[in-house]
Structure 1
Amino acid sequence: MQDCLPFGTALESCFLTLAAGATLGLALLAKTNAIVLPPVILIAVLIHGHVRPERQFALRLRHLAAASVLSLYVINLGYGAEGSFTRLGDYRFYSKAFTGDGMPGGQSRLHGPIWDQIPVPLPAAMLEGMDLQKVDFENPRGGIRTYLRGQWYDHSWWWYYLYVVAVKVPVGTWVLVIMGSVICARSLSPQRLEVSCFVVLPAVALFLPACLQTGFGAGIRYVMPAFPFIFLLAGAVFCIRSSKVIVAIGTLALILGPLASLRTYPHSLCYFNELGGGPQNGDFHLIDSNMEWGQNLMYVDEWVKSHADESPLYVAQWSFYPIENFGIRFTEPTIGKDEPIAPGTYLISVNYLRGNRDMRRMPLRRFLELVPDEKIAYTTYVYRIRQ
């Protein structure tokens, strides 16, 4: 009877359980690295329950189990339950993380008479996608290269994503996060325990796996699932007995962060903070999905149409969508290694301007020695060569 709750409280608890399960399922559908959340939440509940025993501890575990089951249902619903409950022994994996020391295309590292018979409650496409994503991250042959500060590498580093957020996240947000962390560290023991279990632990669990993937470094999107928890930590500036001075500084930082980002709008992907030199210098630090992902074709099209007298026009525009479909008439630049650059107007994407050898546009790097006449949406450099 100790686990019984009043009707209103029980109804609210059931609603929160359903909301948590549905939200967790949607999070896993949106980003598979949220797979770390169920065990992390369980660990957090166990730690919190051990340090602060409560009458409802067993009830909370039951609610957590119910939320996990509901999240599995939501995931299977999203995939149409295709291939769900396939036996583990029927899968073939290619990443070292899944196969261990086995050969690519082999069975799971847990291969055995008992393990092979276990039905996996996840859709087959989801598990296979996680395996193939892991193959990319392992990058065993160095085929996927990493750009950082003007250079290309065949590997990444554990601190790569720390550098990415250092130059991409607004300074005002950094001020809030640092202040919130200090306030939480100095708060009362019960508050500090709850923040550590249910805010800091999930944030670290979502951020750390990306840092451990040192095969190659990619976009900030791989660590963004940790941001909501980090924002909760920043919110401690306004929630935990702060002085008026702290609240005033936090309010100023809260205002300046979005304002700094709005200065780059609508080219938000190109945003870099003041420490990184702003979007005008962002391509020195990072390119690819941190800077240009083919999102500015319309702006290039508008520029070309408003400069119809520019001739000859040479365009090297990086995009998944063919720029020719916009009806733009241009010539693909062909520049030899030691040949002089022909007169004309050149529009060159930063991904080609700073491209690696795999892009086969290395001669275009010669334009880095020149000062561009202007930039289109921060990602396309305009050079007018007269002679």
Structure 2
Amino acid sequence: MHRNSSAHHTIILVFLFAANTIAVSWIGFHYSPVLDEMGHLPAGIYNWEYGQFDVYRVNPPLVRMVAAIPAVLSSSKRDWSSYKKGLTSRPEWNLGRNFIDINPDDWEWYFVSARWMLIPFLLLGGYICYRWSSELYGKTSGLIALTLWCFSPNILAWGATITPDATAATMGVLAGYCFWNWLQKFTWQQTFIAGLTLGLAELTKSTWIVLFGLWPVLWLTWQWISREESRAIPRSRQIKQLVTILLLGLYLLNLGYGFSGSFKQLKSFQFASRTLAGEDSVVDDGSGGNRFSESWLGEIPIPVPQNYLSGIDLQKLDFEKGKWSYLNGEWKDRGWWYYYIVALLLKVPLGTWLLFLCAFGMTYWKRREFRFNWKNEIVLLAPAIVIFVLVSSQTGFSRYLRYLLPCFPFVFIWISKIGLFLEKKQNTIIMPLIVVLSLVWSVGSSLYIYPHSLAYFNELAGGPKGGHRYLIDANIDWGQNLFYLKEWYDNHPEARPFHVDCFIFNKYSIYGIESSSPPPKIKRTINLSELTQEELKQIGPLPGWYALSIHKLHNLNGSYEYFLQHFKPVKIVGYSIYIYHITLDEANRVRRKIGLPEIKA
């Protein structure tokens, strides 16, 4: 009986890993490159070729360098002539355009192969979810944690791109798991493993810099909760090991940058952000500076690579300058502190939320029955809580739920404790039934819109067709469906001339789509009485075929609002690109309604 149970368990494991691999591979093959990928790939190639890390410095180099390996080893052409160095320069965007232009026949394959290079990281993330959950709550819970990871629409979507968020989630939870193992054993073997994984996590996303401060706090908390147990291991040995972990993590971080600019004195840096530059910041119209140059702090050697620190400075500059953000139909020139709460409520499957509530109920109302170990749960949840608070506190702009992706595996593991309901013999079947139905709901809701997982919204938001009323940008439309648009374009030769305005980084022609001109606009702030009759005939609804991405339909100036308000699309491509066919009669009907003169054929 035990042997059969073990065999069934193994079959489920293999199925989940295989399903995740196939699902991510398919998305990676069919998605057109999203905005940031256009910069990540050439930056990774540049990092390999020159051993320098000033391109795309707002992110550490590990993810893009792994992704770039196929392009580096192949005969891909490179053109660095557009590279320009500067305090606030972002040369990766021009390098991305050049890379596609000089590799017209192969650029698609380079992006696909780059994505596939990162699939092992995704599988590793799933394995750690399973392993940590199994050790905390049992193997049934491990399968639940792995299922949530493998079928999360957000993990599927971003795991199929070369943006670092999904890989950062993997390496963060790996580091967290190894640190937890060290806290239980305090062996030197676990010390070196924890330090190694800490360094690798730091090389995926600079957000994980919080671990250098968080882990000592968690160690102190562990000591306080388990005062009797900790006496078996000398405190001095624990401190030595903790310092070793942090130093090894720091060493790996510097090694990943080839120690480029490491240990420079703080006063030798030039910063752009107000936080680090002071009154000479770029955001205050200065040319950059260093608020520490005249203080004793300026004499301190900084134990991180130069481009790692300057990348954090550039990221901070973006938040200080602020960007237009969109939430619940409102545009704002800053962000909202509650933006990510709303985003999670709408873009995480409701089945997962129901499992979360069940886990919360178990923790606080069934704690005596299940006897959870609080110190384990604190170590598990602390990284997710710290990242969530950190990201939510940066209200210069609010745009990307993917910034919270590193939180997901920790929460999935914590949620998976509801598997204990399935293992524990009870007089009622209600809770096991709720758990199973919620898990099925979560997976089914994700698969229902697959492979368009990037555009996922749950039923509370009205699904992906209703989600744009609440969130746009990378939450639904980031240029991922241009291959699908090309397919529709080829199958409908009658749709000519074709007028396109999509969220795109490059020219439409690289996808084989010929756009005659953008659709006609009409800004909400325009005064119609100030325009001539000829000018009035050039704006607003005109007959023709149009393709607009949902981000453009909601643009800040309201240029295309009339499409959403008065016309129905004939096709929605991947939930993010709306195709309209407007006839002469339909155009004139709407023109009369909004006060524009009619037009003739």
TM range (shorter): 0.7 to 0.9
177-186 or 276-285, which moves further after superposition? 177-186
Aligned to 1:305: 490
Deviation at 1:81, TM superposition (A): 1.7
Q: Is the 8 A contact 2:186 2:233 kept in 1?
A: no
Take 1:48 and 1:120, find their aligned partners in 2: how far apart are those partners? Answer: 29
Q: Verify: 1:153 aligned to 2:336, yes or no.
A: no
Aligned to 2:326, what secondary structure does the other structure show?
Answer: strand
Q: Verify: 1:353 aligned to 2:553, yes or no.
A: yes
Same amino acid, percent of matched pairs = 34
Aligned to 1:228: 409
Deviation at 1:372, TM superposition (A): 1.4
Aligned to 2:476: 291
Amino acid at match of 1:235: S
Amino acid at match of 1:214: T
Q: Deviations over 1:185-228 (max 9, x none)?
A: 34259845314520232221111011111111011011111112
Deviation at 1:99, TM superposition (A): 4.1
Q: Deviations over 1:13-59 (max 9, x none)?
A: 33433332222222222221111122112111101202321122624
Aligned to 1:342: 542
Aligned to 2:306: 124
- Number of positions where the alignment pairs a residue of Structure 1 with one of Structure 2: 371
Q: Is the 8 A contact 2:349 2:458 kept in 1?
A: yes
Q: Verify: 1:218 aligned to 2:399, yes or no.
A: yes
Deviation at 1:124, TM superposition (A): 0.8
Aligned to 1:277: 462
Aligned to 1:178, what secondary structure does the other structure show?
Answer: helix
Aligned to 1:6: none
Q: Verify: 1:83 aligned to 2:261, yes or no.
A: yes
Correspondence for 1:162 among 341, 345, 348: 341
Aligned to 1:314, what secondary structure does the other structure show?
Answer: strand
Take 2:419 and 2:521, find their aligned partners in 1: how far apart are those partners? Answer: 59
Question: Taking structure 1 as reference, are residues 40 and 246 closer, same or farther at Cα in structure 2, changes over 3 Å only?
Answer: farther
Take 2:213 and 2:184, find their aligned partners in 1: how far apart are those partners? Answer: 25
Amino acid at match of 1:116: G
Take 2:383 and 2:234, find their aligned partners in 1: how far apart are those partners? Answer: 20
Hey, which of these two has a bigger chunk of helix by percent? Answer: 2
Aligned to 2:555, what secondary structure does the other structure show?
Answer: coil
Structure 2 unaligned spans of 5+: 1-182, 283-287, 523-535, 585-601
Relative contact order higher in (CA < 8 Å, ≥ 6 apart) = 2
Amino acid at match of 1:137: F
Q: Verify: 1:363 aligned to 2:544, yes or no.
A: no
Aligned to 1:166, what secondary structure does the other structure show?
Answer: helix
Q: Deviations over 1:123-159 (max 9, x none)?
A: 11111111111111123xx4x1001122211111111
Structure 1 unaligned spans of 5+: 1-8
Q: Verify: 1:39 aligned to 2:213, yes or no.
A: yes
Deviation at 1:265, TM superposition (A): 1.4
Aligned to 1:384: 581
Q: Verify: 1:373 aligned to 2:570, yes or no.
A: yes
Deviation at 1:98, TM superposition (A): 2.7
Question: Taking structure 1 as reference, are residues 192 and 245 closer, same or farther at Cα in structure 2, changes over 3 Å only?
Answer: farther
Question: Taking structure 1 as reference, are residues 66 and 258 closer, same or farther at Cα in structure 2, changes over 3 Å only?
Answer: farther
TM-score in terms of structure 2 length: 0.58
Q: Is the 8 A contact 2:489 2:513 kept in 1?
A: yes
Take 1:190 and 1:121, find their aligned partners in 2: how far apart are those partners? Answer: 43
Deviation at 1:252, TM superposition (A): 2.8
Q: Is the 8 A contact 1:374 1:381 kept in 2?
A: yes
Q: Is the 8 A contact 1:184 1:192 kept in 2?
A: no
Question: Taking structure 1 as reference, are residues 106 and 330 closer, same or farther at Cα in structure 2, changes over 3 Å only?
Answer: closer
Q: Is the 8 A contact 1:45 1:197 kept in 2?
A: no
Aligned to 2:356: 177
Take 2:364 and 2:238, find their aligned partners in 1: how far apart are those partners? Answer: 26
Deviation at 1:316, TM superposition (A): 1.2
75-84 or 11-20, which moves further after superposition? 11-20
Amino acid at match of 1:376: V
Aligned to 1:202: 383
Amino acid at match of 2:253: I
Take 1:12 and 1:86, find their aligned partners in 2: how far apart are those partners? Answer: 33
1:233-272, aligned counterparts within 5 Å? 233-239=414-420, 245-272=430-457
146-155 or 48-57, which moves further after superposition? 48-57
Question: Taking structure 1 as reference, are residues 135 and 113 closer, same or farther at Cα in structure 2, changes over 3 Å only?
Answer: closer
152-161 or 190-199, which moves further after superposition? 190-199
Take 1:289 and 1:17, find their aligned partners in 2: how far apart are those partners? Answer: 38
Q: Is the 8 A contact 1:94 1:103 kept in 2?
A: yes
Question: Taking structure 1 as reference, are residues 56 and 220 closer, same or farther at Cα in structure 2, changes over 3 Å only?
Answer: same
Aligned to 1:5: none
Question: Taking structure 1 as reference, are residues 87 and 227 closer, same or farther at Cα in structure 2, changes over 3 Å only?
Answer: same
Take 2:488 and 2:340, find their aligned partners in 1: how far apart are those partners? Answer: 34
